[in-house]
Amino acid sequence: MRKIGKQQIEDIAVGAAVLGTGGGGDPYIGKLMALQAIEEYGEVTLLDVDEVPDDALVVPSSMMGAPTVMLEKAPSGEEPILAFKNLEDYLGKKVYATFPIEAGGVNSMIPFALAAKLGIPVIDADGMGRAFPELQMVTFYLDGISATPAILADEKGNTTLLSTVDNVWTERIARAVTIQMGGSAMTAMYSMTGKNLRDSGVKNILKLEEEIGRTIRLAKEKNLNPIQELLKQIDGYELFNGKVSDINRKTESGFAKGIATFEGLHSYKGETLQLHFQNEHLLAKTDNRLLCVTPDLIAVLDAETGLPITTEGIRYGSRCIVIGIPCHPKWRTEEGIKAVGPRYFGYDVDYVPVEDLAKKGVLS
Amino acid sequence: MRKIGKQQIEDIAVGAAVLGTGGGGDPYIGKLMALQAIEEYGEVTLLDVDEVPDDALVVPSSMMGAPTVMLEKAPSGEEPILAFKNLEDYLGKKVYATFPIEAGGVNSMIPFALAAKLGIPVIDADGMGRAFPELQMVTFYLDGISATPAILADEKGNTTLLSTVDNVWTERIARAVTIQMGGSAMTAMYSMTGKNLRDSGVKNILKLEEEIGRTIRLAKEKNLNPIQELLKQIDGYELFNGKVSDINRKTESGFAKGIATFEGLHSYKGETLQLHFQNEHLLAKTDNRLLCVTPDLIAVLDAETGLPITTEGIRYGSRCIVIGIPCHPKWRTEEGIKAVGPRYFGYDVDYVPVEDLAKKGVLS
């Protein structure tokens, strides 16, 4: 158990955006929401999963929808509370603590904003160890934990409570509701016990995010290369160094989809990288080599500052370093690959671990 | 209070399809659902609105979605029960009786099927006095009664509970959910008190439907012209007599939309009628005259049998008589016209009562 204040929030927001692999929402908006809530209500207690009672009701708080929409439609701050209150009324039980459903600029921060306002702790675990675009893409799904009863709430005050036959149906119906709610909604779903979270969640994710943020911040202060420091810390791989030459994006069926093209610089001169995304970066390849593919993590970092860039933040002319990070082992199982591997997203390639690809790539 | 058995169901189904103005679902499927339930569970008690206690919880049961879909995706019969049980759990109160939300082949029948299974009465009132395509298009909306808490349930077992800021938001979100549920869903919404229904509903609608069905049935038995008998009974107007020469339909945003063209026969020879529909028939006009427009009722009847034809039942070559019927006075108020008049549906004409149009039409 420890307290999370403003400096920790700053670091966690950066680390969350790295592990968010381009998705999980804008780090700036997320950070502001959390900082403002801590300013007003005080520091938040962070619990280790082992500190949570077995039968405690724990519920992740998150935003669902295309992060691009959130830039124009900022949340009022009341929606997550409305969603939680509705869920508590439905279950007839108080929520003991909240936690992030995924790593990401917004979705790692919303739990802190909500926890500060409600006076409850945050637990150091999530359901992905990264960000993914669909709500059944969580370790909880692999372990048979239901997303429902699932609440969605918007900034106008509309709410829906879903009860479905499986988590894929929850995704379908919730996605349609989210689109009607203006493209993004706040959720209270995947309610579970402390024991469920301990058994199924990805532990110490916030600690890792904080360490990533601190590494980048301290490297800058010490005039070290932040990306090299980061790669050492997280066992990551440099995939490419280049300049954005083309960016093609559209918001489709509630997702921010697209392809960014990078022209190689320095030792990558003459090569071209294609980065495919669907809320998150999902596949990186050159003209003839696959470099990294979901569920492994692909992060785009500003070549100078080392700060992560979200899919909606990729701009023509930006100089970036693209890195790959091994995913949580649960995603490398047969069920994991089926749920979030390249073929699920429509890419006609087999999954190969980034540590194998990074050395030589495979012909694509 | 009286009992409704199989003959009454047969007549009500026909009358409901006439007042359903092409929508409200297929009369054949609806009738089968009600007949089967009465066969299995016995006759259903029909209450007059004056027989319902002031504070009794009463809830309409209906199908939402494009009726065309229902032809391919027949309901399991369990969805309306699931929807009602969820609503009772949420409200913590038993439903005293159900009633139709609208006139129509399916939506006048579902309450009987549900009532037979649950052993509750049906009340002789609805919220339209006809059928309309959107869920806020009820007299209850004009009288400020909320559609929420609104439950949608599908045949797979998925349910959603909506709580919204107004009935137009309920329509938007429920429509999106309905589409995800496969194009149609069963609902439990517009829960209200007996007094609400007495003050706001359209009374004796089932009695009228039964009389219409009986009139058409008896005319046939007595070798009388069923359509002339019907027009006398309901103060309706013959608008056109013709043969379907073109039918253009599509299912769009969960609605069955289209235009049917009729070539005139007999005294209408040389004239062409265009009939515009959106789940229901909404506007009838010849090349230069407007003949009838929403909220007044437009029914398409088989020229020989007098039986009503739904929008999805209109076939090339069918010989039909198109009739107009004045709507309930609540729809002719300023708020009524705003909610369901021609401009709401995108037709660039002003509302003129059918009794004025039927004599001479107005130039369109």
Report ipTM (2 d.p.): 0.72
Binary contact (B164, A165; C-beta < 8 A):
no
Indicate if the pLDDT at residue B67 is higher than 80.
no
Place of tokens 């070559």: B317
What is the distance between the alpha carbons of residues B256 and B66, in angstroms, rounded to a whole number? Answer: 6
- Choose the closest CB to B180 out of A157, A158, A172: A172
pLDDT for position B157? 92
Return per-residue pLDDT of chain A as tens, 364 residues: 999 999 999 999 999 999 999 988 777 888 888 999 999 999 999 999 999 999 999 999 998 886 555 555 555 678 889 999 999 999 999 999 999 999 987 899 999 999 999 999 999 999 999 999 888 999 999 999 999 999 999 988 999 999 999 988 999 999 999 999 988 899 999 999 999 999 999 999 999 999 999 999 999 999 999 999 999 999 999 999 999 999 998 877 767 789 999 999 999 999 999 999 998 999 999 998 999 999 999 999 999 999 999 888 899 999 999 999 999 999 999 999 999 999 999 999 999 999 999 766 665 5
Last residue of a domain, one of B173, B205, B237: B205
Indicate if the pLDDT at residue B206 is higher than 70.
yes
Give me the DSSP letters along B223-291: T--HHHHHHHHHT-EEEEEEEEEEEEEEEETTEEEEEEEEEE-GGGTT-EEEEEEESEEEEEE-SSEEE
Contacts of A304 (CB under 8 A, 6+ apart): A319
Contact yes or no for B145/B192 (Cβ under 8 A):
yes
Asked if B165 and B250 sit in the same domain, the reply is no
Other CB atoms closer than 10 Å to residue B101's CB: what's the count? 31
Reported as a single tens digit per residue, the pLDDT across B252-278 is 776 778 999 999 999 999 999 999 999
Asked if A42 and A113 sit in the same domain, the reply is yes
Residue A346 to chain B, least CA–CA distance (Å): 21
Query: Residue A68: inside a domain, yes or no?
Result: yes
What is the distance between the alpha carbons of residues B325 and B207, in angstroms, rounded to a whole number? Answer: 17
Confidence band of B15 (pLDDT split at 50, 70, 90): very high
Query: Residue B216: inside a domain, yes or no?
Result: no
Query: Residue B295: inside a domain, yes or no?
Result: yes
Place of tokens 């008896």: B218
Query: Residue B217: inside a domain, yes or no?
Result: no
- Chain B contact set for A181 (CB, 8 A): 173
Please state, in angstroms and as integers, the Cα–Cα distance from residue B97 to each residue in A142, A302, B44, B64, B148, following that order.
43, 64, 11, 20, 18
Confidence band of B75 (pLDDT split at 50, 70, 90): low
Residue B153 to chain A, least CA–CA distance (Å): 9
Indicate if the pLDDT at residue B201 is higher than 60.
yes
Q: Which domain holds residue A55?
A: 2-205
Residue B127 corresponds to which tokens in the numbers above? 């919220």
Asked if B146 and B263 sit in the same domain, the reply is no
Asked if A298 and A346 sit in the same domain, the reply is yes
Reported as a single tens digit per residue, the pLDDT across B340-356 is 999 999 999 999 999 99
Asked if A56 and A191 sit in the same domain, the reply is yes
CB pairs under 8 A between A and B: 62
Query: Residue B152: inside a domain, yes or no?
Result: yes
A180 touching B (Cβ < 8 Å)? yes
A146 touching B (Cβ < 8 Å)? no
- Choose the closest CB to A157 out of B165, B173, B177: B165
pLDDT for position A182? 87
Asked if B197 and B230 sit in the same domain, the reply is no
Mutation for A interface: B89, B160, B171, most A CBs within 10 A: B160
End-to-end CA distance of chain A: give it in Å, rounded.
Answer: 47
Asked if B181 and B264 sit in the same domain, the reply is no
pLDDT for position B105? 79
How many domains are there within chain B?
2
Query: Residue B362: inside a domain, yes or no?
Result: no
A158 touching B (Cβ < 8 Å)? yes
b/e for A349-359, b at 16 or more Cβ within 10 A?
eebeebeebbe
Asked if B191 and B234 sit in the same domain, the reply is no
Give me the phi and psi of B351, to 5 degrees please.
Answer: -75, 130
CB proximity under 8 Å: B 53-112 to A = 86
End-to-end CA distance of chain B: give it in Å, rounded.
Answer: 47
Binary contact (A173, B162; C-beta < 8 A):
no
Asked if B24 and B156 sit in the same domain, the reply is yes
Indicate if the pLDDT at residue B336 is higher than 70.
yes
Contact yes or no for A150/A168 (Cβ under 8 A):
no
Q: What is the CATH number for A324?
A: 2.40.390.10
- Chain B contact set for A165 (CB, 8 A): 156-158
B148 touching A (Cβ < 8 Å)? no
Nearest C-alpha in B relative to A159: B163
Pairing state of beta strands A184-188 and A97-99? unpaired
Please state, in angstroms and as integers, the Cα–Cα distance from residue B74 to each residue in A305, B156, B239, B308, following that order.
59, 12, 34, 21
**Three-class secondary structure of residue B139 per DSSP:** helix
Asked if B21 and B165 sit in the same domain, the reply is yes
Contact yes or no for B37/B29 (Cβ under 8 A):
no
pLDDT for position A74? 57
- Choose the closest CB to B158 out of A156, A157, A164: A164
Binary contact (B164, A163; C-beta < 8 A):
no
Asked if B230 and B175 sit in the same domain, the reply is no
Nearest C-alpha in A relative to B168: A158
Query: Residue B219: inside a domain, yes or no?
Result: no
B161 touching A (Cβ < 8 Å)? yes
Query: Residue A212: inside a domain, yes or no?
Result: no
Asked if B115 and B234 sit in the same domain, the reply is no
Indicate if the pLDDT at residue B33 is higher than 80.
yes
HSE toward the beta carbon, residue B351, CA cutoff 13 A: 23
- Chain A contact set for B157 (CB, 8 A): 164-165
Pairing state of beta strands A122-123 and A44-47? parallel
Mean pLDDT over each residue of chain B, to the nearest integer: 92
Nearest C-alpha in A relative to B176: A176
Q: What is the CATH number for B166?
A: 3.40.1610.10
What is the distance between the alpha carbons of residues A168 and A141, in angstroms, rounded to a whole number? Answer: 9
Contacts of A1 (CB under 8 A, 6+ apart): A45, A46, A47, A48, A51, A121
